[in-house]
Structure 1
């Protein structure tokens, strides 16, 4: 039996949505950031280029996390080990890894650039940045969930499990604060 269809006892009336249905709904949700006439092009970009440029600030925003910020907490790790760490630290909230940095993008609610403005200003000291309106983010296709440097420029470090499920801003803030604290201690020696 596939992982999409598990046998379990559920109360009457509870709907189970297979992973493939959730993935399709999440894809439609992500593409809804674009005008309707641009969505087919984005699907082609996913297929041909491994990434589609999606606008931030309407449905979601992103917090850019350089790898050095994360390894300040974890120490040197392989990318797949960082993926596991981020999934745990951010309670499974979606994170994109851009192999060109490498850097990570935690997807957060669209309101974060406005509501976390003061904290975001302090985060710049650690090269973290909050990205919102007037910014495009390279988003990999939802099935790009494993490191494959030969085939893709980015992948889902922590996959988006379903539409609208984003990282909790407080979890992201705590991660950045812990990294900044560790970097400050490391600088003192």
Structure 2
């Protein structure tokens, strides 16, 4: 990587960090938390809301439970940033106001009055029980579209198919990766042809 590209990358990261800090009640405290290795507690409902998703649904939708593989799959499936709180929840950052229009029964949206532990931008792989970016933001104001509900529905499909199989019913045509294909088809239809808009966000 050339020095110019490194400089542009650092400027981009600083701009994204600055955007996230605008959501903080006290940006200096949030920045200090990041510098000391802690997640910054950011209030929701101003710059963004967050869709709170059960890990089981995310694992089913990505057909994987290994954290690194789940992150890689999510980077291909969603169009914005996601945070993982290990062992508890995944959070997709979505536009502020999504709480007022959200209709999916598979997850709840957190908005005004709620807070979210947001990791520093270089926390992109699980190393402890601290939150990390399952999909880091690549641009300022980049958020998941509310169609992240497709990911949730994809997670429900394999679970339902598994239950049907336990009852002796024939498995559906989608199989265990059916949810993954559903999301890919929907994203392809929405985005049209062309290169992916984001990478895997590895270290």
Larger relative contact order (C-alpha < 8 A, sep ≥ 6)?
1
Q: Distance in 2 between matches of 1:78 and 1:177?
A: 20
Q: Distance in 2 between matches of 1:2 and 1:129?
A: 43
Give TM-score scaled by structure 2 length: 0.74
Say yes or no: does 1:146 pair with 2:125: yes
Contact 2:33/2:40, CA 8 A, preserved across alignment = yes
Q: Give the aligned CA root-mean-square deviation in angstroms.
A: 1.9
What does 1:1-189 correspond to in 2, within 5 Å?
A: 1-2=1-2, 5=5, 18-35=8-25, 38-91=26-79, 93-101=80-88, 103-116=89-102, 118-119=103-104, 122-123=105-106, 128-149=107-128, 153-170=130-147, 172-189=148-165
Change (3 A) 1:3 1:115: farther
Q: Distance in 1 between matches of 2:2 and 2:131?
A: 27
Unaligned residue ranges in structure 2 (runs of 5+): 166-203
Give TM-score scaled by structure 1 length: 0.79
Instruction: State the number of aligned residues.
Output: 165
SS in 1 for 2:36: helix
Contact 2:81/2:133, CA 8 A, preserved across alignment = yes
Cα offset, 1:48, TM superposition: 2.0
